[in-house]
Amino acid sequence: MSAPFEGFRTGGRASTLPAQFFTEVLPAIDDADELRVTVYALYAITRPAIGGQARPLLAMRASEIAREEPLVRLFAERGGAAAVTRALEAAATRGALLAAPLDDGDTLYFVHNDGGRRLRDRVVAGALEVPPMNGRAVRALTAEPAPRASRPAAAYEQEIGMLTPTIAVAIADAEQKYPEQWIVDALREASARNARSWRYAEAILERWQTEGRDDEGTGRDPRKLDHGPYEHLIHRGTD
């Protein structure tokens, strides 16, 4: 059994769902997988892009949704991407999502509201181009993922926030360069300093690699160390 959830962080990014979801859609869903995927898809489709910028298109491919790290872990022993795809199809049949089949065999999903209907119709008519994925996201979404998150990935979700495909690739790269415990400690220190971003944690790792860890073997709390030139990286957010 996993450890109990420690509670939502004050100031963390919030997501909203339409009230109709709770009054009309939720009571009608009797399949747990459909419920999990519907809620996650509604969040993922409408969340800001990495860096807080607006998404070029408020829609996601089924393959992208199935590759989202939380769903990968959740469905690792529940049928994998195929089960996610079936749940997405059920959500579209129910009407919570809108689906637009693509020529490459994938399916594009939209939130079923006025804006989603307009976007879906424009995509189907060919008036709106489906944007390609960027390089690092393609690597994360097309690579065969591990069924369970590594300790650093789990620490990121606990201390920083939702693990995006780009951050998952960055953490995997870091695991090739640094000890696993270093990455976990750096993420915890970033959280303790209210600097919840991978960029800040990576700066800590780079300094430890260059100058060594003064706290190792001394009993000093690594969260209280002064990071000199890296202090300017402290900021709120989950870059």
Domains and CATH numbers, the chain: 19-142 (1.10.10.10), 151-233 (no CATH)
pLDDT tens, N- to C-terminus, the chain (239 residues) = 556 878 887 777 778 888 999 999 999 999 999 999 999 999 999 887 655 555 678 899 999 999 999 999 999 988 999 999 999 999 999 999 999 999 888 999 999 999 999 999 999 998 988 866 544 444 444 444 444 457 888 888 888 987 777 888 889 889 999 999 999 999 999 989 988 899 999 999 999 999 888 655 433 444 444 444 445 444 434 44
Report d(CA 235, CA 193) in Å as an integer.
Answer: 9
Q: How far apart are CA 149 and CA 76, in angstroms?
A: 11
Q: What is the dihedral of CA 16, 20, 23, 24, to 10 degrees?
A: -130
**pTM of the entire structure?**
0.57
Determine the Cα–Cα distance for residues 183 and 12; give it in Å rounded to an integer. 22
pLDDT at 227: 47
- Residues 208 and 184: beta-carbon distance below 8 Å: no
The CA radius of gyration of the chain, in Å to the nearest whole number, is 20
How far, CA to CA in Å, does 133 sit from each of 91, 137, 154, 173, 232?
24, 6, 25, 20, 31
CA neighbor of 175 nearest in space, from 205, 204, 217: 205
Token look-up 């065999």 returns: 105
CA distance 160 to 191: 6
Residue 234 tokens read as 């402290």
Could you give the CA distance from residue 78 to residue 95 in angstroms, rounded to a whole number? Answer: 24
CA atoms of 53 and 238, how far apart (whole Å) = 13
Q: Strand (E) positions, 45-177?
A: 60-61, 97-101, 107-111
